[in-house]
Amino acid sequence: MSPSAGPSGRAVRVAVAQHSSGHTPSAAGFTRADLITVMTASPEPGVSIFLPTHLHGREVQQGPIRLANLVREARELLLSAGLRASESDMVLAPASRLVEDDDFWQHQNHGLAVFLNASEVRVYRVPLPLSEQVAVGVRFHVRPLLPLLAADGRFQVLTMTAGKVRLFQASRHAMLEQRDAPLPEGLVEEMGPQDYENLVQASPVARPHTGSIDVSSAQVYGDSPAEWAKSRLVEFTRRVAAAVDECSAADPVPLVLVAGSEIAGHFKRLSSLGPLLAGVAKRNPEAMNERQLHKAAYDVIQPLLDADRRDVIARFGVLFATGDARAAAGLQEVVWAAQQGRVDTLLLPVEDPARGHDLLDSDEDIDQDEAPAKGAQRSRWAGQDLLEVAAVETLRHGGRLHLLDEEGSPQPNVGAILRY
C-alpha cells in the first residue's frame, strides 16, 4: 500500500499493492487523478473488473461470489490472449485474495473496480452501481467509471454539527464518506471542553492561559454564557470552512452543506467557496442515515446540475447549426481535438455499448503536415474504445465531460465545444 497525492492535495491511500508483498489491498475512491494514472499505464496485458457491491445486509455476501466468477472469466481471457496458466494466476492473485477477505467485503460502497497487471493492483470503491464486466487488453478499461467524473455526476456533501463533521464524495447515485479528509472532528475535540465557569472564575493572570480555546480573556469576562458558546461555535465553523476551502481548491466540485440553520448561516458567511457552495439543506444530519443524507443533498443540487447540462446542449446546438468552428462533431474529429487539448466540454452518449473504431484505419483525407502526429496518436491508442479515449483526453487537459442519455443527446450525439 503506498500513499500518493490526491486531488485535494492531501495524502490519499491509493489501493496499490505489489504482487510480491502478499498483502491484500484496500480500496479508495476514484478521482480524475486516478483516471489519468490508470489510463496512462501500459499494463500489457491489463485486467479491468467491475461489479456491483452492497453496504449492508445479506447482499454483502454476493460480492465475493461475483468477484470469484469474474476472476475465472478473466483467467480464460488471459489464456486466450496467450499467457501461460502460471502467468495468468500471478496477475489475478490479488483479486483472488480479495475473494477470501471477509473484512474487505464489510466495507464497500455501491460498486467495485479492480485493475490488475503483472506488477500491481488498484482497487476502487465507488458510489456507483456498476454492472458485472471484465476486460483484458493492452490498456485498462475505465468507461464504466466515467459517470463519476462527468460535470453533472460528482459533487461533495459536507455534514456538520457541533459534535461531528463529515465529508462525502457523491454522485447522483450514492455517496462515500472521505474518512481521511483533514477536517476538524468536532467542537470539543478541536477547541477543548466547554467550561465557561472556570474561565470566568479564573484570576486575571490565569485567564489568558486558556489552552487551545481561541477566545480572549477579555471577551470571556464580558460575555454571557450564551455569547461565549456562540463565539466558540463561530470560531469552530471558521476552522471547518477554512479546511473545506483548502480541500476544494485542489478538487473544485460543487458542495452541498447539510446542517442546522445556525451553523449553515455561519458557514455561508465564513466560507470562500463562492459558487462551489451549491446550496444548503437545513437539516440535522445526525438524525439522518446516509440514504436520507444523499437524497437531501441531491434534491438541493439536482436543479443546478440539470440546468448546466441543458445550457451546454443548447450552446453546442447553436454553434453546430451556425457552422461555428468551435463545435466539433463526429468521433474522429472529437478525438483529434481532445488529444490536442482543445476540448472545453465533451458531450458523449451515456448508454452506447459499441466500441469506437480504431483511430484512422487509413490516412485518407489527412493533411500531410498533420500525418506524422496523427500516425503517432493512432499507434498510441490502437484497439482502444475511442469514446473512452475522447473522455480521458478531455479530462486530462482540464475539460469537462457530460454524459447524455438518448433523449437528451444533441445531433450528432458525439460532439464537443472547443476552446479554439
CATH topology of domain 155-188+225-303: Nucleotidyltransferase; domain 5 (3.30.420)
- The three three-digit cell numbers of residue 64, written as one number: 465475493
Looking at per-residue pLDDT, the higher value among 76 and 306 belongs to: 76
- The average pLDDT across 301-320 equals 91
290-329 b/e (C-beta count within 10 Å ≥ 16 → b): beebbebbbebbeebbeebbeebbebbeebbeeeeebbbb
CA 47 remoteness from chain centre: 21
Band of residue 223 on the pLDDT scale cut at 50, 70, 90: low
Alpha carbons 294 and 110: distance in angstroms, whole number: 13
Would you place residue 242 in the very low, low, confident or very high pLDDT band (cuts 50, 70, 90)? very high
- From the centroid of its chain, how far is CA 10? 15
User: Looking at residue 28, what is its pLDDT?
Assistant: 55
CATH fold for the domain made of 2-148: 3.30.960
What pLDDT sits at residue 41? 82
How far apart, in whole angstroms, are the C-alpha atoms of residue 408 and residue 401? Answer: 14
Long-range Cβ pairs for the range 408-412 (8 Å, 24+): 408/309, 408/313, 409/347, 409/349, 410/313, 410/316, 410/317, 410/320, 410/347, 412/329, 412/330
Q: What pLDDT sits at residue 147?
A: 86
For position 243, what pLDDT does the model report?
A: 94
The values of phi and psi at residue 58, to 5°, are: -65, -25
d(CA 176, CA 166): 10
Average pLDDT over residues 329-333: 89
Instruction: Please give the order of strands across the beta sheet that includes 343-349.
Output: 327-329, 415-418, 343-349, 400-404
d(CA 374, CA 368): 10
The reported pLDDT for the residue numbered 256 is 97
pLDDT band at 154 (very low <50, low <70, confident <90, very high): confident
Phi/psi at 79 (5° precision): -65, -40
Distances (CA, A) of 298 to 35, 70, 337: 24, 33, 33
- How far apart CA 168 and CA 256 sit, in angstroms, is 10
pLDDT tens per residue across span 33-48? 888 888 878 777 899 9
pLDDT digits (tens, 9 = 90+) for 386-402: 888 899 899 989 899 99
Domain covering 325-418 in this structure, CATH number? 3.30.1330.30
C-alpha cell, 305? 446540475
- Nearest C-alpha neighbor of 340 from the set 390, 381, 403, 413: 390
What whole-number distance in Å separates Cα of residue 270 and Cα of residue 333? 45
Task: List the domain boundaries for the chain.
Answer: 2-148, 155-188+225-303, 325-418
pLDDT (mean) for 368-384: 44
% of the chain surpassing 70 pLDDT: 75
What pLDDT, on the 0 to 100 scale, is given for residue 179?
82
Burial class (CB in 10 A: 0-12, 13-18, 19+), 192: middle
Contacts of 166 by beta carbon, 8 Å cutoff, 6+ apart: 158, 159, 160, 177, 183, 285
Confidence of residue 349 (pLDDT cuts 50, 70, 90): confident
Of 128-142, 213-227, 232-246, which has the strongest mean pLDDT? 232-246
pTM: 0.69
